[in-house]
């Protein structure tokens, strides 16, 4: 039995908790994601300093844990300071905000594009499907890193633009998955029944088919959030993503790249955070897939 059939006659939010935490990978992944999200939301209250406050007398202070004698070390900056004497912990906390915002925002936007295209292709078939299949093919053949870099260089790197550019290139998996599921559902009894009782295409697509897309779309969405976070950090790393005074984890690594040899924590700490967050999101996605009837 497919997920579609299983979830079809249940209210959308029934047993949500149980479905979101069904297995160990999902619980572990979700815990990390929630912790990072809480840190991001409450950054202004949690951060000991302003992320932009410079103290040039305290440049490149190592984190106490790196120093050896950490019991008697100076704990005023728990993760040390960067090249401009800014508190690294505060920057890390604030960095989580833009990193998550861009990741989630870009995914939300691209899901709208992808689901619309995918549902239309799967439902109408024929010429419409051919055209949309072609658009997907074009998108897949484009070297996204180069085109995104060019667009950001030409149009300027505001947070919104980065989100928009990312979402313009991350919709393909949404489209492919919703096309496949819609095709499976197109000739099922409940769709035919709706058609027979005089429902229009829009009503069938959004009322009958869309609710059945929720689970497979959730799998794709988690993957794409992780993907978007990695791409944003790479853009920021190359100097064409988030720009100062904004902070993102990718930008922190970009600012630290000249210090990788002697102050390696400046690179390893934000990198480890990206690794942890993206890893947790992927872990959650694996759990979601291995649950009953997930889309592989």
Partner 1 sequence: MSSRTALAGYVVRRLGMAVAVLFTISLVSFFLLKLSGDLATSLARDSSGAYVEFLRRQYGLDQPIVVQYGQWLGRAMTGDLGTSFYFNEPVAALFAARLPVTMLLSLMAIVLALAISLPLGILAALNEDRLGDRLIQLFALSGQAMPVFWSSYLFIIFFALQLRVLPISGGASFAGLVMPALTLALFTMPALLRITRAGMSDALASDYVRTARAKGLRWSVIVTRHALRNALVPLIGIAAVQFGLLLGGSVVVETIFAIDGIGYFSWQAISQNDFPVVQATVLVVSAFYVLLTLAADLLSAWIDPQFKLGRPA
Residues that bind partner 1 (CB under 8 A): 134, 137-138, 140-147, 149-150, 153-154, 226, 230, 233-234, 237-240, 250, 253, 257, 260-261, 264, 267-268, 271-272, 274-276, 278-279, 282-283, 286, 296
In angstroms, the CA 71 to CA 239 distance is: 38
Task: Please report how close the Cβ of residue 278 comes to partner 1 at its closest, in angstroms.
Answer: 4
Kindly tell me which of 180 and 238 has the beta carbon lying closer to partner 1.
Answer: 238
Kindly tell me which of 58 and 104 has the beta carbon lying closer to partner 1.
Answer: 104
Q: What is the DSSP string of 73-135?
A: S-TTSTT-B-TT--BHHHHHHHHHHHHHHHHHHHHHHHHHHHHHHHHHHHHH-HHHHHHHHHH
Listed residue (109, 295, 113) closest to 214, CA to CA:
295
Kindly tell me which of 6 and 147 has the beta carbon lying closer to partner 1.
Answer: 147
Kindly tell me which of 71 and 146 has the beta carbon lying closer to partner 1.
Answer: 146
3-state secondary structure of 294: coil
Q: How far is CA 233 from CA 81, 170, 239, 253, in A?
A: 21, 15, 10, 9
Q: How many CB atoms lie within 10 A of CB 138?
A: 10
In angstroms, the CA 155 to CA 126 distance is: 37
* In contact, 16 and 218? CB cutoff 8 Å: no
Q: What contacts 62, CB < 8 A, 6 or more positions away?
A: 80, 263, 265
Kindly tell me which of 204 and 237 has the beta carbon lying closer to partner 1.
Answer: 237
Kindly tell me which of 121 and 149 has the beta carbon lying closer to partner 1.
Answer: 149
- Number of H helices and number of E strands within the chain? 14, 0
């Amino acid at each position: 039995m497919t997920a579609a059939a299983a979830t079809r006659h249940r209210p959308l939010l029934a047993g949500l908790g149980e479905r979101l935490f069904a297995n160990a990978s999902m619980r572990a992944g979700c815990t990390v994601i929630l912790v990072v999200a809480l840190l991001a939301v409450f950054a202004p209250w949690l951060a000991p300093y302003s992320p932009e406050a410079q103290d040039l007398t305290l440049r490149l202070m190592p984190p106490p844990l790196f120093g050896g004698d950490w019991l008697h070390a100076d704990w005023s900056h728990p993760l040390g300071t960067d090249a401009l004497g800014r508190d690294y912990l505060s920057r890390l906390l604030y960095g989580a905000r833009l990193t998550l915002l861009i990741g989630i925002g870009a995914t939300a936007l691209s899901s709208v594009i992808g689901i619309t295209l995918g549902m239309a292709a799967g439902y109408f078939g024929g010429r419409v499907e051919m055209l949309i299949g072609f658009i997907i093919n074009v998108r897949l053949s484009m070297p996204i890193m180069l085109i995104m870099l060019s667009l950001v260089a030409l149009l300027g790197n505001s947070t919104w633009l980065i989100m928009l550019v990312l979402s313009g290139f991350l919709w393909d998996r949404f489209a492919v998955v919703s096309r496949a599921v819609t095709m499976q559902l197109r000739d099922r009894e409940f769709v035919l029944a709706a058609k027979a009782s005089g429902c229009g295409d829009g009503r069938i697509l959004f009322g009958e088919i869309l609710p059945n897309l929720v689970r497979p779309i959730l799998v794709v969405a988690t993957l794409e959030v992780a993907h978007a976070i990695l791409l944003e950090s790479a853009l920021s790393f190359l100097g064409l993503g988030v720009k100062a005074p904004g902070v993102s984890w990718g930008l922190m690594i970009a600012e630290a790249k000249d210090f990788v040899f002697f102050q390696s924590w400046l690179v390893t700490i934000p990198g480890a955070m990206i690794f942890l967050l993206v890893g947790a999101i992927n872990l959650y996605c694996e759990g979601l897939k291995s649950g009953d009837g997930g889309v592989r």
